[in-house]
Structure 1
Amino acid sequence: MTMTNDATLMRLEQVAKVFPNGTVALRGVDLAIEQGKVHGLLGANGAGKSTLIKILSGAFSATGGQIFWKNAAVQWTTPKEVKAMGVATIHQHIPVVPTLSVLENVFLDEDRGWRRSGSSRRRLDELFTRVGYWLDPDALVNDLSIGQRQMVAIFQAVGSGAELIVMDEPTASLATDEREVVYRTVRRLAKVENKAILFVSHFLDEVMALTDCVTILRDGQAVMRAETADLDEARIAEAIVGRQIVAMVRAEHKRLPDAAPVVLELRNLASPGKLAPFSFKLKAGEVLGVAGLLGSGRSELMHAIFRADRDATGEVLVTGRAIPRSTAAAVKAGIALVPEDRVDQGLIPAFEIWRNTTLPALNGVSAGNCLPLREREIERATEAIQRLKIKAQSPDILVTELSGGNAQKVTIGKWLFSDAKVFLLDEPTAGIDIGAKADILRLVRDLAATGMVIVVVSSEFEELLAVADRIIVMRDGQCIAERAAHETTEHELVLLAGGQSAINPSAAATSPQPNGE
């Protein structure tokens, strides 16, 4: 049972969540949140943080345990009940309406009658003064920066009169100066206004600097609760990672032949406000892992390589030839992208497996390179199903009817019959089961063995260690370190991504240069 004192505002005892399909998300979590303190909540992807936050916000109901508010047992069924009690949640995807003004957003949950009252502006000005941050009340949120939108969400929470504010990764997408504004606001809310703050973050340096205490979740359980002053980043990283069994044996370290040709080269590839300049070369058969946390610039790097970033500068070369700033040119040159959002960006949901599979290379299934032949498309899709072990009764199945893992295999499979030389895989195993993960990671190795270059982004650093030859670590759009995969650990990668400059500073690199180049 969690120890409490008079300052405890909310207490969780053995809170559990089992979904109808049998998935166990929380196995009995104890947590005590005190007034006037910033309580950090940490854990790896899949540890249970998101589920716990949804329970606290009223989006999910717990299936076991008890929640206490001011020492009284409570139970709620809707987010509205939670807000009325005094809990406000600022979700990772900033909950604001872009077509409304700052003023309208801040008081969005109130009755519409307030809009005709001049008191609303006075209340907003009072909020600005309390927090020490000012915005134009009439500015459309759509015209604000990400950091300013985050502040609008904070004003919403404070303006609601909430005593507990849950912040889910509030700085993940912010620039350094915008983060400082959030830090200052969080400290003021806790120390001056005596609010309780539950602060969810992957950034270990900000957790150390900002929080009073931390709880770490792993595999649906709270495995550590400690005062921040008694911890260091190494202990936190060890608790997050735990003594997990590596699901896949690491790829054997291989030294690429000196004569192996350079397939992909970046020359000062950059994007204003997104990416610092990147320059590196990858040889045939090489797998580069990209480690970093949400907002570190991982996906932006992939999009820039794929020539999808119109603002990008610098050069991308495939087999020595510069690629124009066009996704069509990138595909023609042999670059394939499997995006993080497979539903909206990687597949056409209204199409069957066979239509999705043949899209990037219709000339190979067309008569006279003009008219696609369904019979050939079906044959190719059938081959992809067999090769990738896609669980589907036939190629005629809509991709929306597939499980997450099988749908992801289709997004990869559609490139296997193209002239791809470079595979860009952005979170290829996110949200899929362990069996499908193993299949995809084995496929990465197999593709590399044929001489392809693979660049793979993953939040699961264990997976990068399993398949990559080298790993670069990103933060704030920069490469802050490079490691040979066989010379690093998940523990070190967590530390680096979380803000520690390097365990061995002399080993860190500002720009990856593979194989001594």
Structure 2
Amino acid sequence: MAGVDLTIQPGRVHGLLGANGAGKSTLIKILSGALAPTGGDIRWRGERVSWTRPQAPREAGVATIYQHIPLVPTLTALENILLDQRAFLRHRADDRQRIGDVVASLGHPFDLDDLAGDLPIGARQMISIAQALAGGADLVVMDEPTASLAGDERQTVYDTIRRLAREEGKAILFVSHFLDEIMALTDEVTILRDGRAVLHAETADLDEARIAETIAGRAITALGRRKTRSEPGPVRLEVDAVASPGKLAPTSFTLRQGEILGIAGVLGSGRSELMHAIFGADAHATGTVRLDGAEIGRYTDEAVAAGLALVPEDRAGQGFVPQMDIARNVGLGVMAQSGAGVRRVDAKDERRCAENAIRRLGIKTPGPHALVTELSGGNAQKVVVAKWLTDRTRVLLLDEPTAGIDIGARTDILLLVRGLADEGLPVILVSSEFEELLAICDRILVMRDGRVIGEADPNETSETDLTLMAGGGDRAPAGAPA
């Protein structure tokens, strides 16, 4: 990052945008005290400050909500919220009442006594938001707080942000890759590219097309609807009465060669639970999964050996090994598909596979031996996808593959998925972005309350229709800022 100027004013929502790797995360780390700047000044309430530890900005009234949720899974929601305030070991009844009021303002997305590790990713994100609000911060930095949330939960966050800025006079720095919510929610926008601020403007003076082109440094081609295939391929995957107690009602469907099957639904509808059950990641799941007529065992290693590959929703927690470089992470897919007797892929083969993935997916990295944790979110997600781009993958399961990544990387991944299907690979795609499902899927199953409640034809369905079927609210906030 090189010399970014940014002014955040009370009572306003300031949007911060940029492609993955543009410098947003570095700037947030500096503001949160996690990284010391190498030059320039930070002024807080008119006074020059030097924050060299995360506790300092929190004590000064600056709270940061991170994209990757830093919660303790074995603690309750209340304990996690108080842990951020160093009140965990001495919390009293009035603390519980105070935190309860904050959570109530968010629409009761979780119970205070729920273990954080037992909650879905969207609810965990809401705990992080509650942490910031409970601390009474005057500046709240939100790093993609809606990336993992369903439509109604996003609307709750939007309403909370508006109330904090307009009624309580809080300053909000809002980082997002969703251009529609930037347009409707923010008062002003700063766009970073290659570590520099390349645009600052009032939101009312911009449109989505100009923002997208400024972020990418190039024009972004909109994804048109996928062309209907003239001849459907043979059935490859059969899901027969797959269910999980309390999570998923008996579900049956087939998947054909070269088909992209979308799964639509709001958070808690059973989308991820269905993917886990198919992949053998749910020990309580029942039912039968067949690939090319052969039944697959109910364990993950058997599913992988048969050719199923899952890109999970939580890429940081489940998608890659942080201590390993790109080459090793890419090699994990080959190793897993090779069977229990293979403990390591040849280093030259790992490097070759990683170099091919870097070229094919356009991963921005110094080289195959860079740690995945050193990459931006979009590039890290490309590594997770690349891990399964092998000759042995026969069905690709994608759970929210574009969550939290910029518009350029999102387009790259969706075009890759479309290309893989055109080559004959069957794909199941879960996405909260119904526009994406309508653009690249051949058909869409709609889920609600753990069961499939209908099927939609992308050529005959609008985004509004799909939202109403799924039972979720509109994703974009209604109305522009006043």
- TM-score normalised per structure 2: 0.61
For residue 97 of structure 2, the aligned residue among 125, 136, 148 is: 125
Residues 446 and 456 in structure 2, CA contact (< 8 A), matched pair in contact too? yes
Give the structure 2 partner of residue 32 of structure 1: 8
What does residue range 435-446 of structure 1 map to in structure 2 within 5 Å? none
Pair 307,87 (structure 1): closer, same or farther in 2 beyond 3 Å: same
What residue identity is the alignment partner of 2:189?
Answer: T
Give the structure 2 partner of residue 164 of structure 1: 139
For residue 57 of structure 1, the aligned residue among 21, 32, 54 is: 32
Residues 103 and 109 in structure 2, CA contact (< 8 A), matched pair in contact too? no
Rg larger for: 1
- Alignment of 1:242 onto 2:218: no
Residues 172 and 295 in structure 1, CA contact (< 8 A), matched pair in contact too? no
- What is the aligned-residue RMSD (CA, Å)? 6.3
Residues 81 and 127 in structure 2, CA contact (< 8 A), matched pair in contact too? yes
- Alignment of 1:215 onto 2:186: no
Give the structure 1 partner of residue 235 of structure 2: 262
Q: Distance in 2 between matches of 1:313 and 1:85?
A: 52
Cα deviation, 1:444-502, whole Å, max 9, x if unaligned, reads 78865664334567999999999x67597999999998657xx9xxxxxxxx9xxxx35
What does residue range 55-454 of structure 1 map to in structure 2 within 5 Å? 55-62=30-37, 66-100=41-75, 104-108=79-83, 120-122=92-94, 124-126=96-98, 128-129=100-101, 139=113, 141-142=115-116, 145=119, 153-154=128-129, 156-174=131-149, 182=157, 185-201=160-176, 211=185, 213-215=187-189, 217=191, 219=193, 221-226=198-203, 237-242=208-213, 244=216, 245=218, 256=229, 258=231, 260-264=233-237, 282-286=255-259, 302-310=275-283, 316-319=289-292, 323=296, 325-339=298-312, 341=315, 345=319, 349=324, 356=332, 359-362=335-338, 378=346, 381=349, 385=353, 388=356, 401=369, 404=372, 412=386, 416=390, 418=392, 420-424=393-397, 451-454=424-427
Pairwise CA distance, 1:57: 1.5
What residue identity is the alignment partner of 2:94?
Answer: R
Residues 8 and 171 in structure 2, CA contact (< 8 A), matched pair in contact too? no
Pair 185,454 (structure 1): closer, same or farther in 2 beyond 3 Å: closer
Q: Distance in 2 between matches of 1:320 and 1:198?
A: 53
* Secondary structure of 1:59 counterpart: coil
Give the structure 1 partner of residue 474 of structure 2: none
* Secondary structure of 1:197 counterpart: strand
The structure where strand makes up a greater share of residues is: 1
Greater shift, 409-418 or 69-78, is seen at: 409-418
Structure ranking higher on relative contact order (CA contacts 8 Å, 6+ apart)? 2
* Secondary structure of 2:67 counterpart: coil
Residues 311 and 398 in structure 2, CA contact (< 8 A), matched pair in contact too? yes
Q: Distance in 2 between matches of 1:331 and 1:353?
A: 16
Pairwise CA distance, 1:247: 8.9
Greater shift, 181-190 or 339-348, is seen at: 339-348
What residue identity is the alignment partner of 2:31?
Answer: L
Unmatched 5+ residue regions in structure 2?
Answer: 360-366, 373-378, 471-482
Q: Distance in 1 between matches of 2:213 and 2:119?
A: 37
Pairwise CA distance, 1:414: 7.1
- Alignment of 1:41 onto 2:15: yes
Q: Distance in 1 between matches of 2:186 and 2:415?
A: 43
Residues 41 and 201 in structure 1, CA contact (< 8 A), matched pair in contact too? yes
Q: Distance in 1 between matches of 2:99 and 2:384?
A: 50
What residue identity is the alignment partner of 1:225?
Answer: E
Percent identical among aligned pairs is 41
Q: Distance in 2 between matches of 1:54 and 1:473?
A: 40
Q: Distance in 2 between matches of 1:271 and 1:301?
A: 9
Q: Distance in 1 between matches of 2:343 and 2:433?
A: 40
* Secondary structure of 2:396 counterpart: strand
What residue identity is the alignment partner of 1:33?
Answer: Q
Pairwise CA distance, 1:148: 6.6
Residues 353 and 381 in structure 1, CA contact (< 8 A), matched pair in contact too? no
Unmatched 5+ residue regions in structure 1?
Answer: 1-16, 19-26, 364-369, 392-398, 488-495, 511-517
Give the structure 1 partner of residue 362 of structure 2: none
* Secondary structure of 1:330 counterpart: helix
Cα deviation, 1:149-182, whole Å, max 9, x if unaligned, reads 5565455434434222223333444566655665
